[in-house]
């Protein structure tokens, strides 16, 4: 049976009240932390000192998504800060294999992300170096965007390649995940779902998380 994981994104949380916003999602599987540097994407969020504090107060493990230039230089520090998984963008990494190995050596699960228009095929031979492949289902940079159906064939191809090779890595999707779109992503083979606005925009985050679990399994 497939293990479904729901990772709410604190990008849509109230940044002035992060500790209580982390408590709101206690029934989720991990907290997704979006790090943006205003260069890889046209938006700026938070960095290492804030991630270190989130790690100290969060009841959930940290799923760090780095939308930054030069992840080869910066990503290992997020692993050392205690993140359970650290995901860098393939488009930004100079040496993705070396970086993935460095993240694992630092004690984190290694994730690699692809923007919507980045093909998975050039990376098929390095999937064994990864614990997670993140297929972005919106252009990275902002919460609240609409799910891009054009990413579904890539999710499917990636999941089939992983299954065919007998590899243990999971496929994560991020962007525009709602109780409606989550089914399409799950059908295509994703098992880890990031949801920002659909969880933090709800009156009751626990209900929203449970609704996403139900919809993904349907
Ligand atoms: C976007 C971020 C996402 C974002 C998703 O670049 O990577 O994690 O928070 O937000 P929603 O779920 O609102 O699309
Ligand atoms: Zn993200």
CA–CA dist 124, 136 (Å, integer): 17
Query: Helices 71-80 & 48-57, crossing angle to 10 degrees?
Result: 20
Enter the pTM of the model. 0.98
Query: 17 lies in which domain range?
Result: 5-217
Task: Select from 146, 110, 106 the least CA-distant residue to 126.
Answer: 110
pLDDT confidence of residue 2:
87
CA–CA dist 85, 42 (Å, integer): 24
Asked if residue 8 has its Cβ within 6 Å of ligand 1, the reply is no
Helix, strand, coil shares of the chain, percent, nearest 5, are 45, 20, 35
Q: Which atom of ligand 1 is nearest to the CA of 10?
A: 9
Q: Is position 32 annotated in a ligand binding site?
A: yes
Q: Rounded mean pLDDT of 131-152?
A: 98
CA–CA dist 175, 152 (Å, integer): 13
Q: Rounded mean pLDDT of 8-35?
A: 98
Span from the CA of 195 to the centroid of ligand 2 (angstroms): 9
- Within 47-195, residue ranges assigned H as helices are 48-57, 71-80, 96-105, 152-165, 181-188
Phi and psi for 204 in degrees, rounded to 5?
-120, 105
Q: Is position 9 annotated in a ligand binding site?
A: yes
pLDDT confidence of residue 175:
98
- Residue 72's CATH number: 3.20.20.70
**How many domains is the chain built from?**
1
**Under a CB-based contact definition with an 8 Å cutoff, are residues 214 and 154 in contact?**
no
pLDDT confidence of residue 70:
98
User: Is the per-residue pLDDT at 98 higher than 80?
Assistant: yes
Q: Is 18 helix (H, G, I), strand (E, B) or coil?
A: helix
Q: What is the ipTM of this complex?
A: 0.99
CA–CA dist 176, 119 (Å, integer): 20
- Taking CA atoms only, the protein residue closest to ligand 1 atom 4 is 143
Q: Is position 149 annotated in a ligand binding site?
A: no
Span from the CA of 151 to the centroid of ligand 2 (angstroms): 15
Choose which residue among 15, 67, 88, 196 to substitute to test ligand 1 binding: the one with the highest number of ligand atoms within 8 A of its C-beta. Answer: 196
Asked if residue 89 has its Cβ within 6 Å of ligand 1, the reply is no
CA–CA dist 125, 197 (Å, integer): 34
pLDDT confidence of residue 65:
99
């Amino acid at each position: 049976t497939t293990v479904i994981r729901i990772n709410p994104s604190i990008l849509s949380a109230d940044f002035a009240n992060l500790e209580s916003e982390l408590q709101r999602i206690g029934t989720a599987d991990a907290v997704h932390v979006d790090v943006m540097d205003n260069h890889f994407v046209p938006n700026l969020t938070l960095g290492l000192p804030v991630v270190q504090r989130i790690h100290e107060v969060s009841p959930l493990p940290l799923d760090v998504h780095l939308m930054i230039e030069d992840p080869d230089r910066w990503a290992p520090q997020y692993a050392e800060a205690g993140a359970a998984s650290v995901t860098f963008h393939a488009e930004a990494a100079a040496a993705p294999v070396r970086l993935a190995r460095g993240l694992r050596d630092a004690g984190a699960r290694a994730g690699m992300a692809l923007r919507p228009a980045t093909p998975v095929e050039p990376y098929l031979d390095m999937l064994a170096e990864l614990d997670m492949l993140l297929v972005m289902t919106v252009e990275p940079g902002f919460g609240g965007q609409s799910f891009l159906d054009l990413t579904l064939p890539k999710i499917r191809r990636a999941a089939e390649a992983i299954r065919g090779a007998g590899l243990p890595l999971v496929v994560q999707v991020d962007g525009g995940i709602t109780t409606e779109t989550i089914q399409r992503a799950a059908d295509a083979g994703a098992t880890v779902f990031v949801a920002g606005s659909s969880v933090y925009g709800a009156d009751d985050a626990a209900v929203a998380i449970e609704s996403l679990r139900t919809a993904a399994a349907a």
